[in-house]
Structure 1
Amino acid sequence: MDKGYGGNPARDSIESVAETQRDLHADLALCTAVPEVYYDEGGGYTASSLSDAATQFFEEAPVAWPHAIERAISAESEVNRLQMLLSDQEQAIITLRDRALSAGAHCFGLRQEVTYLRVGIAAAMTYPPGIIRAKLSRVLAEAIADE
């Protein structure tokens, strides 16, 4: 598998690793093992002046760094997606909480109304039947008029 590196089998095997997943900790260790960059007059490095670690670094860097950056970009994208999902879920929880509070207040109002009606019924039970019938007729007439 020649990727334009002159058929260098070590470079080709590096490329196949990068296509799957690189060990970023090993790449970082390799980067920190290179104390400085060695340049020749032409602006490049000379293999004869490089340590083994530096040579390995310069051979792997063109594959390792793009791969690391792609993984970082992917990770950032996933973090953003999860943050948006979390924000949506937080908003849904707030909405449900507000609805529950509103329903609780409504239930409290209904409980007060039921208590008021029970007191009224208990009081009405002490009246003679004719008075109860007259009061109920008046309440029903008012309710129909309100509709």
Structure 2
Amino acid sequence: MKTGILKTLLFYGIGFGIAGIAYAIIGNPYIHAPGVHHLILFLTLVIGIIWTLISIGFFFFKAKTDKLKGIIITNSIIILSCFLYVAIPIYLDSTEKTFIESDFVRTEIKGDTTKLYHNNNLIFIKVKDSVILDLRK
């Protein structure tokens, strides 16, 4: 089982290491698209998933060895961890309440003072001809 675990950790260590080196050398020149390091990480995970499925097939239909058991367990833990690393923040963001700001602006005029409120936040104060506060965009 040790050899299967070590072989799997070596595979992911090499894949993630190459991605880290690619990021250090190339960086991410165009921020709106995935960089080379993202593609290497994705390819490493896809190969890991394929390797896991093939190992499961060999384990159940050919020989039940300890090496295959180690490969399957280690691959499953790494793939599940990567999936949860992406899925948990998405789930937590979806459960938060999102308030939609309206374009409603309320105006209060008292004597020589004019105040503007946007979503009950004071954004503008004018006294006579002097503007005291102007946070309008």
Give the TM-score of the pair, scaled to structure 1.
0.30
Q: Look at both structures and tell me which one has the larger radius of gyration over its CA atoms.
A: 1
Give the TM-score of the pair, scaled to structure 2.
0.32
